[in-house]
Chains A and B, each alone.
Chain A
Amino acid sequence: MGNLNDSVKTRTFDAIVIGSGMSGGWAAKEFCEKGLKTLVLERGRDVVHLKDYPTANMMPWQFEHRGQLPQSIVDANPVVSKCYNFREDAMQFFVKDKEHPYVQEKPFDWIRGYQVGGKSLLWARQTQRWSDFDYEGPARDGFSVDWPIRYKDIAPWYSYVEKFAGISGNKDGLAVLPDGEFLPPLELSCVENYFKDFVSKNYADRHVIYARCAHLTEPKQVHLDQGRGQCQNRNLCQRGCPFGGYFAANSTTIPWAMKTGNMTLRPFSVVHSIIYDEKKGKAIGVRVVDAHTKETIDYFARVIFVNAAATNTNLILLNSKSSRFPHGLGNDSGILGKYFAFHNYRGHISAEYEGFMDSTTAGGRPTSAYIPRFRNVHKQETDFLRGYAAGFFSGRFSAPKPEGFGVALKDNLAKKDPGPWRVGSHMMGETIPKETNFLSLDPNKTDEWGIPQLTFSIAYDDNDDKMVKDFQDQLSEMYTRAGFTNIKTSDTHQAPGLDIHEMGGVRMGRDPKTSMLNKWNQLHACENVFVTDGGCMTSTSTQNPSLTYMALTARACDHAVSLMKKNEL
């Protein structure tokens, strides 16, 4: 230890950010740009852009199992194996089940990426803004609590993050899905354009649009300054992009923060808890367990951002116990971990279309079309609350049939019949946060680092079941009227979690008695601790949430720095 004071000094920063992914990367960038000495704690390994993407340029035939998972890996990982991206080319970016156990009081497929960049390496890159139909939802429909912000509060911050991240989209002029700062869109297919026209002609309030996505279709100077280039439409994003074509913390926010010289990035740092000082009445630092040495180390800072991904943010706060906060940091109300919610992805529909048989598509496209929410938008009109958005994709991709053997088989495999147009949609339903859907700490079980295991008590309810049925009915009707055939609907009945859109537990609100965070994402009861990842969400909307986490983070950082300048933090 030598000189204890020196040691404390080297462990003291202006800001600590817990987590280096989708939102933590933004906190790191904002603080470092504003001149704060910032410690970024990441529980996993470093993944350096370009250098640590071992599969990025591998051809399909260079994979030992041609993309498939060895059975031993499936057997050892029953949970993460369910994730569509957990395949031979990207499994290095996922947490393996056995390494990080958790308790499922009710089934929950917890999909995690413990590394610098987190799940921003693996996301589906869909970036639709939320609107006041979302922010006013809980107040109008009487669930959760009222959001302490409205669209006008966050709109400039959506613009701010969109310009830096690079979002491809169309200005569609829809109130339910506000327009943003867009790079050019890619094309829709013949069938997608047909369906778009059909729907707008036949349904007053339904639309099919080009799904906005975080891809550089035409990079601007700021993107080139980040060292990123144009998206090459490879659709191999989950391997890490050698072009920086899509937004990932690894290619964008983390290197940007690093370039300022103000960031200290510490991988292999498992956060145990946030240290609360009763005399000062605020948090003074973060207790870390080194993932390798298991040594406990305390780091100190004036402001702490918790961006550990919704679930682990809940865990850290629940585990941050003191005599002032015996039930977890800031948890005077007892609601920490409760009102946890997610997105309902259970409903699927597929069909065929016999038109445009002389046409097809060429090239690649890392996004699809999108049907914004149309249910219960202006008023309550069904027997369930809220609604769903849906993807919409099309293409002619029939694989040749391996019929026969010998020369005949080879001839069959060489046939170039692309088959009919195939179309499909999946739902993304809003779930209602409830007290009975909650996270807690197991009283006995701990992980390898002595941290209590997280317990999940999360389930669907009747509202979700009704919504799946309505999605199937409404989309079937739209598909039928549009002339699609061979329509098939399904309900995956997948457990919550596989949507990888965990939200809540540390929700924002106006009243400290019913919420954890104020309108600036500060803990009501401990104002120098901010939560700006999925944990902060008061409701779940029907749009992919990452863009909103980014905007909330940049906005909260701006507020934190202004308070620090005024010595109010």
Chain B
Amino acid sequence: MSNRRVAIQQLLLIWAGVAFLPSCLQHQQKVSIPLTLIHIDPEDENMLAELAETILPKTDTPGARDLSAHLFALKMVDDCFTKPDQEKYIQGMKDFESFVMKKTGKSFMDIGPAEKQAIVAVLDQQKSAESGVAFFYQSTKKLTVLAYTTGEYYMTKIRGYKMIPGKFQGCIPLKTA
């Protein structure tokens, strides 16, 4: 919860900052988070949010959008990827749109849930090294899963994470663990 509050506060700060920029610069600051090394459009960001949600949808547990997993993915690509991998990722993102266009005649944002799942089903079978599109997809999936599995909900509710884990018990029945 507090984490989300912080995220919202940060967003508000960014928006506040944008308001003070000269109008001619405003159109350059359109993505929700500041990115230093990679450059994407707001449309790319929206598409990434949809893709992440398709990979990890909201069910009775939070989904990718609830976790802003796509923004986390962008942050990780921007900060933690090597330059060649950043380039591969951004190119792969463009190739992904072409791939979707070729398959469906529409952009990823404009197709329905069933078509989105069909696209993802194809790419989910491919290994990262196979193509630029596969690299983009598998990287996005990996980062979305990371956002989820290191997130507060998953760690505390599903994995029972406690910062103070209690005394070490060397041999207990698996059932009670």
Which residues of A come within 8 Å of B, CB atoms?
Answer: 57, 59-62, 64-72, 186-190, 192-193, 232-234, 236, 356-365, 399, 402, 404-407, 409-410, 413-414, 418
The CA of A59 and the CA of B155, in the complex, are separated in Å by: 10
In the complex with contacts A71-B80, A402-B141, A193-B56 CB distance below 8 A: no
Q: Which one of B56, B61, B168 lies within 8 Å of A186 (CB-CB)?
A: B168
Residue of chain A at shortest CB distance from B150: A66
How many Å lie between the Cα of A67 and that of B150 in the bound state? 10
Determine the distance from Cα of A325 to Cα of B173 in the docked complex, in whole angstroms: 67
Question: Which of A60, A190, A405 touches B120 (beta carbons < 8 Å)?
Answer: A405
Whether B150 pairs with A62 at a CB distance below 8 angstroms is: no
Q: Across the interface, do A405 and B169 meet the contact criterion of CB distance under 8 Å? A: no
Q: How far does the alpha carbon of A404 sit from the alpha carbon of B81 in the complex, in Å?
A: 24
- Given A64-B75, A68-B80, A406-B55, A363 and B148 contact (CB-CB distance below 8 Å): no
Q: Is A69 a contact of B80 with CB atoms below 8 Å?
A: yes
Identify B81's interface contact among A66, A71, A233, A360, CB under 8 A: A71
**A402–B80 contact, CB under 8 A?**
no
Contacts A62-B3, A71-B82 given; indicate if A361 touches B61 (C-beta within 8 A): no
A360 touches B174 (CB 8 A): yes
A407-B165 contact, Cβ under 8 Å, with A193-B170, A360-B172: no
CA distance A409 to B154 in the complex (A): 13
10 A-B interface contacts by CB (under 8 A): A57-B163, A68-B80, A70-B79, A233-B164, A233-B165, A234-B164, A234-B165, A361-B168, A409-B145, A410-B56
Residues of B within 8 A of A361 (CB): 168-172, 177
B122 to chain A, nearest CB (A): 11
- New A-B pairs, 9, CB < 8 Å, besides A59-B163, A362-B169: A62-B3, A69-B80, A71-B79, A192-B170, A359-B174, A362-B168, A405-B121, A405-B141, A406-B54
Q: How far is the CB of A217 from chain B (nearest CB, A)?
A: 9
Interface hits, B96-113 → A, CB 8 Å: none
Main secondary structure of the interface of B (DSSP, over half): helix
Q: From A61, A358, A359, A407, give the contact of B3 (CB < 8 A).
A: A61
Residue pair B173, A65 in contact (C-beta under 8 Å): no
Interface: B27 (CB within 8 A)? no
Interface residues, chain B, with chain A CB atoms under 8 Å away: 3, 54-57, 59, 61, 75-76, 79-83, 117, 120-121, 124, 141-142, 145-152, 154-155, 158, 161, 163-175, 177
- The answer to whether A187 and B168 have CB atoms under 8 Å apart is yes
- Min Cβ gap B88→A in Å is 14
Question: Given contacts A65-B76, A405-B121, are A356 and B171 in contact (CB under 8 A)?
Answer: yes
A-B contacts, CB under 8 A, total: 131
A226 to chain B, nearest CB (A): 21
A187 touches B169 (CB 8 A): yes
In the complex, A61 Cα to B152 Cα: how many Å? Answer: 6
Contact A406-B57, Cβ < 8 Å, known A59-B152, A361-B168, A363-B167 = yes
The smallest beta-carbon distance between A97 and chain B, in angstroms, is: 18
Chain A residue, CB-CB nearest to B146: A66
User: Known: A61-B152, A71-B79. Is A413-B170 also a contact (CB below 8 A)?
Assistant: no
Contact in complex: A405, B168 (CB < 8 Å): no
The reply to whether A60 and B155 form a contact with Cβ atoms under 8 Å apart is: yes
Beta-carbon contact of A407 and B59 below 8 Å: yes
Q: Quick check: B55 and A409 within 8 Å, CB to CB?
A: yes
> Closest residue of chain B to A357, judged by CB?
B174
Query: Residue among A61, A69, A190, A399 with the most chain B CB within 10 A?
Result: A61
- A233:B166 contact, CB within 8 angstroms: yes
Q: How far is the CA of A232 from the CA of B165 in the complex (A)?
A: 8
CA distance A232 to B163 in the complex (A): 9
Contact of B165 (CB < 8 Å), options: A190, A363, A409 = A363
**A360-B168 Cα distance, complex, nearest whole Å:** 11
A359 to B167 alpha-carbon distance, docked (Å)? 17
CB of B76 to closest CB in A, whole Å: 6
Tell me whether A233 and B167 are in contact (CB under 8 A): yes
> Taking the nearest CB of chain B, how far is it from the CB of A66, in angstroms?
5
CB contacts (< 8 Å) of A362 on chain B: these are 165-166, 168-169, 172, 177
- Nearest Cβ distance between residue A185 and chain B, in whole angstroms? 10
Q: Which of B158, B171, B175 has most A Cβ within 10 Å?
A: B171
Q: Which residues of B contact A71 (CB under 8 A)?
A: 79-83
Q: How far is the CA of A301 from the CA of B39 in the complex (A)?
A: 60
> Which residues of the partner chain A approach B81 to less than 8 Å between Cβ atoms?
71
Bound: A246/B2 CA distance, A: 30
Known: A62-B3, A234-B165, A402-B141. A414 touches B158 (CB 8 A): yes
A64 to B57, CA, bound (A): 23
Chain A residues lying within 8 Å of B57, measured Cβ to Cβ, are 406-407, 410
**Is B170's CB under 8 angstroms from A187's CB?**
yes
In the docked arrangement, what's the CA distance between A361 and B167, Å?
A: 10
Most-contacted residue by chain B among A64, A363, A404 (CB, 10 A): A363
Is there contact, CB below 8 Å, between B148 and A413? yes
List B contacts of A407 (CB < 8 A): 57, 59
Taking CB atoms, residues of chain B closer than 8 Å to A67 are 150
**In the complex, A208 Cα to B80 Cα: how many Å?**
40
Q: Are A359 and B163 in contact (CB under 8 A)?
A: no
How many Å from the CB of B175 to the closest CB on chain A?
Answer: 8
Asked if A193 and B171 make an inter-chain contact with CB atoms under 8 angstroms apart, the answer reads yes
CB distance from B112 to the nearest CB of A (A): 14
Tell me the nearest residue of chain B to A70, going by C-beta.
B79
Question: CA–CA, A347 to B120, complex, Å?
Answer: 42
Chain B contacts of A65 at CB under 8 A? 75-76, 79-80
Q: Please tell me if the beta carbons of B54 and A405 are within 8 angstroms of each other in the complex.
A: yes
Q: Closest B-chain residue to A400, C-beta based?
A: B149
Q: Measured between C-beta atoms, what is the minimum distance from B170 to chain A in Å? A: 4
Whether the Cβ atoms of B171 and A363 lie closer than 8 Å is no
| B168 A233 Cβ-Cβ under 8 A | yes
A193 to chain B, nearest CB (A): 7
Q: Which 5 A-B pairs have the closest CB atoms?
A: A187-B170, A190-B171, A365-B168, A364-B165, A189-B170
Collect the chain B residues with CB atoms within 8 Å of residue A61's CB. Answer: 3, 150-152, 155
Contacts of A409 in B (CB 8 A): 55-56, 145
CA distance A258 to B172 in the complex (A): 45
Contact between A188 and B170, CB atoms less than 8 A apart: yes
Give complex CA distance A78, B158 in Å.
37
Q: Which of chain A's residues have a CB closer than 8 A to the CB of B82?
A: 71
Closest chain B CB from A399 CB (angstroms):
8
Measured between C-beta atoms, what is the minimum distance from A335 to chain B in Å? 45
Complex: how many Å from CA A365 to CA B167?
A: 8
A233 to B164, CA, bound (A): 7
Q: Within the assembled complex, what's the spacing in Å between the Cα atoms of A494 and B132?
A: 33
CA distance A325 to B82 in the complex (A): 50
Check B171–A359 contact: CB distance below 8 A.
Answer: yes
CB distance from B99 to the nearest CB of A (A): 16
Cα(A59)–Cα(B3), bound, Å:
10
Tell me the minimal C-beta distance from A68 to chain B in angstroms: 5
